[in-house]
Amino acid sequence: MSEETIKVHRLTTEPTKAWEEISKTQKFFKINYKSPKSSNSDPKKIRIVCMSDTHSLYHYIKFQVPDGDIFIHAGNFSAGGKADEIFAFNEWLGRLPHKHKLVIAGNHELSFDPNFKLEMTPNSSKHQARSGLLGNKKPENQNQPSVEESRNLLTNCTFLEDSGVELYGIKFYGTPWQPAFGPWAFGLPRGEKLLEKWHKIPANTDILITHTPPVGFNDKTARGEHIGCVELLSTIQKRVKPKYSIFGHVHDAYGVMTDGRTIFINASTCDINYKPNNFPIVFDIERKDLKNDEIMLEVEKNEKDVAEKRGAWVLMQIIAQYFSQFFRRIFGFIRRT
């Protein structure tokens, strides 16, 4: 079966108008997301934890990042892609318990984009100036490492840039591009230029990680404008059809939606005021790498682990009870003498 050819929408440069037209033939639902309260105990599934747009504000995060098998960060982990910011992010990643960590860049990772050139006027950075917490009023090239140096600083994750990785039989693909706006990294004109990047996404992708949202799905700003990519939505719905589309970029639109086939997750950690208040979005997905006999082994291993933990807990209770009785007798003897 041949893949459907994706064409540039005639309203691609006006995403709000494009969505008004496209939405007439769309099914789309907002999902009332609630984070799982218990850990994943199903050996046939893995747990994925999603964050984005943390902007070097890890010290301001008040919640504990939930444990899981795979941690995904959908870009804008720094304020401007400076070496100390990348180093701090990598150190933070190293403290997370997840076995696998997948990271893409966003428009704030200036040093990761080989085509980025710092050409600014004092008033050209309204986007970043909205945050007093960031401490920058514009992107700066101070302490700016090269692309190679930037990537080499990320030792505690798998960095994806127009590339993929397979984990537990699940195919992930990550790409940082978004519609260009202002002097930021990985920005391309809407239409053909971005579509060329989306053409690279393999059709068998299960979980797609982008920095930009597709138009219409968790991309609406506080001003009521849709700023997602029209051709990304077409690529997702008509050609790739992933189970999950994970992104960030639009802080105003944190949350989960679906079109009935793909689940769209805007995992922006920072809210509209650049405060890291949004909780990570967590979900479980079935593994594809286990056969029936391997599933049984995983079930047995899981049951054994649970039994061992329960046994250890019971043993600790017995020991605590013994010492409690022992000290009670000692104190009773002391009082009598």
Torsion of CA 133, 139, 144, 147, to 10 degrees: 110
In a domain, residue 331? The reply is yes
Q: Is there a domain that residue 2 lies in? A: no
32 and 156, same domain (yes or no)? yes
Identify the residue whose tokens are 């902007």: 55
- Mapping DSSP onto H, E and C, the string for 234-271 reads HHHHHHHCCCEEEECCCHHHCEEEECCCCEEEECECCC
The tally of domains found in the chain comes to 2
Residues 269 and 330 in one domain: no
Residue 116, pLDDT score: 86
Is the same domain home to 21 and 96?
yes
Same domain flag for 53 and 28:
yes
Tell me: do 208 and 326 sit in the same domain. Answer: no
Which tokens go with 91?
């150190």
Q: Is residue 67 part of a domain?
A: yes
* Domain CATH code at residue 136: 3.60.21.10
Among all chains, which residue has been given the structure tokens 């689940």? 263
Pair (47, 67) in one structural domain: yes
Residues 99 and 39 in one domain: yes
Helix (H, G, I), strand (E, B) or coil at 232: helix
Residue where a domain stops, chosen among 250, 269, 289: 289
Range of the structural domain that residue 309 is part of: 297-337
In this structure, are 210 and 332 located in the same domain?
no
Identity at 156, one-letter amino acid code: N
Tell whether 285 is covered by a domain. yes
Judgement on whether residues 201 and 258 belong to the same structural domain of the protein: yes
* Same domain for 308 and 277: no
Residue found under tokens 């979900």: 283
Residue 7: predicted pLDDT? 95
Cβ distance 181 to 194 under 8 Å? Answer: no
Give 101-155 as a 3 state SS string. EEECCCCCCHHHCCCCCCCCCCCCCHHHHCCCCCCCCCCCCCCCCCHHHHHHHCC
- Angstrom CA distances, 194 to 119, 132, 147, 300, 305, stand at 22, 32, 21, 48, 48
Assess if residue 6 is contained within a domain.
Answer: no
Residue 276 lies inside a defined structural domain of this protein: yes
Classify 258 as helix, strand or coil.
strand
| Three-state secondary structure call for residue 52 | strand
Flag whether 39 is in a domain: yes
pLDDT at residue number 136:
38
Is residue 10 in a domain? Answer: no
pLDDT per residue rounded down to tens, the chain (337 residues): 456 789 999 999 999 999 999 999 999 999 999 888 888 889 999 999 999 999 999 999 999 999 999 999 999 999 999 999 999 999 999 999 999 999 999 999 999 999 887 544 333 343 343 333 343 334 455 568 999 999 999 999 999 999 999 999 999 999 999 999 988 999 999 999 999 999 999 999 999 999 999 999 999 999 999 999 999 999 999 999 999 999 999 999 999 999 999 999 999 999 999 999 999 999 999 999 988 655 555 555 555 554 565 566 557 666 767 666 666 676 565 666 5
Which amino acid makes up residue 222? A
Between CA 89 and CA 99, with CA 95 as vertex, the angle to 5 degrees is: 105
pLDDT of residue 225: 97
Residue 209 buriedness (CB in 10 A; 0-12 / 13-18 / 19+): buried
Same domain, 99 and 180: yes
For residue 273, give the 3-state DSSP assignment. coil
**What pLDDT score does 90 carry?**
98
User: Which pLDDT belongs to residue 305?
Assistant: 57
Contacts of 288 (CB under 8 A, 6+ apart): 168, 169, 170, 206
Query: Domain check: are 251 and 281 in the same one?
Result: yes
